[in-house]
Amino acid sequence: MKTIKGPAVFLAQFMGDEAPYNSLDGLCKWASDLGYKGIQMPTLDPRLIDLSKAAESQYYCDELLGKINAYGLELTELSTHIQGQLVAVHPAHDIMFDVFVPDNLKGKPKERTAWAIQEMKNAAKASRRLNLKAHATFSGSLLWPMVHPWPQQPKGLVDMGFKELASRWKPILDVFDDNGVDVCYEVHPVEDIHDGDTFERFLEATGNHKRVNILYDPSHFVLQQLDYITYIDHYHEFIKAFHVKDSEFNPTGKKGTFGGYNDWKDRAGRYRSPGDGQVDFKRVFSKLTEYGCDVWAVLEWECVIKSPEQGAREGAPFIKNHIIEATTKAFDDFAGGETDEDQLKKILGI
């Protein structure tokens, strides 16, 4: 067994234009003052990190780590959720995802994909320079519009979709492998990797690439009505990153899993601050500890009711109180003794 590290916080949902949320120094001091021990860093905002420079300059990375460490914090993972998503975008989503790319790439899906792939490779190199072993991202999706299709899917469509997704990711995965870093795909609705079956499809399509791993976030499984505890039993060996985020699913006679096109607060499935939803975090932390998952417990704040400020304040003690100090001995060790083969035979009557 292994004690989970934490608490840590994902900075993406807290960044803004006002201090302390508009600079790395401000966010580090804010996180440290709230009791966090680590930060997970998004990589699109140059106020936090210049990803291309981090990929090439050890001096830059050492300075960056020094700044973070000066606040008593560790860098847990880099995040490329947006860039990972842009590795594979179905044409139906082209216009909406263009908001995330430089102006010169808008309306140019092939160039956007090439840019995203290079960003991912930069993230692999930067992670190594920053002494990181895991990386958080999305898989992107070519097949999501087919998740509940009508008319039915043509034969071979899903296999072709995963083959293409894997072909885009394998060169990226190889760069991560060269740099000794695991790619942790957040298993998430709208991604082609959104549950256990789709993770296995992707893993197989990559030839069981050893850098294909999981960012485990139980909130997404509540919304899918998937058993998030048994999921750990199935995939614990792949879980190399962990988001602490809560959610609830309250279907009615009018709405269920698909949400009726409602705003988040009016859906049956809603994200909540940890402790305010339906995720049994005691069991989650117990399972991850039991299996020895070497992860940081990272708060990802998304809530339709509570403010981010309150969510962040409450998040650090919530995580701290759920971390289990893994035992190094059995509770009944006092009753044991040295192995005596003759005695064992006598006990068994042989």
CA gap 73, 67 in Å, rounded: 9
The pLDDT of 116-141, averaged and rounded, is: 98
Beta strand 182-186 with 239-244: parallel, antiparallel or unpaired?
unpaired
Mean pLDDT of 23-51: 98
337 pLDDT band, cuts 50/70/90, is confident
The answer to whether 38 touches 76, Cβ cutoff 8 Å, is yes
pLDDT for position 339: 80
Name every residue whose Cβ is closer than 8 Å to that of residue 331 and which is 6 or more positions away in sequence.
none
**Mean pLDDT (whole number) for 50-70:** 98
Q: What are phi and psi of 14, to 5 degrees?
A: -105, -10
Query: How much is the pLDDT for 334?
Result: 63
Q: What tens digit of pLDDT does each residue of 286-315 get?
A: 999 999 999 999 999 999 999 999 999 999
Decide if pLDDT at 191 tops 70: yes
Residue-range domain boundaries for the chain:
5-348
**Predicted local confidence at residue 119, as pLDDT:** 98
- Residue 350 pLDDT class (50, 70, 90 cuts): very high
What pLDDT, on the 0 to 100 scale, is given for residue 69? 98
**Who wins on pLDDT, 10 or 330?**
10
Rounded to an integer, the average pLDDT of 23-31 is 98
Query: What's the confidence (pLDDT) of residue 328?
Result: 83
For the domain 5-348, what is the CATH code? 3.20.20.150
- Mean pLDDT estimate for the chain: 96
* b/e code 91-112 from CB counts within 10 Å (16+ = b): eebeeebbebbeeebbeebeeb
**Of 204-208, 268-272, 325-329, the least confident:** 325-329
Q: Which of 73-77, 151-155, 244-248, 286-290 has the lowest mean pLDDT?
A: 151-155
The whole-number pLDDT of residue 303 equals 98
pTM over 0.75: yes
What confidence tier does 223 reach under pLDDT thresholds 50, 70, 90? very high
Give 22's DSSP letter.
T
Query: Residue 11's CB: how many other CB atoms inside 10 A?
Result: 21
Distance (Å, whole) CA 158 – CA 143 = 7
pLDDT of residue 162: 98
pLDDT at 335: 61
Task: Return the pLDDT at 236.
Answer: 98
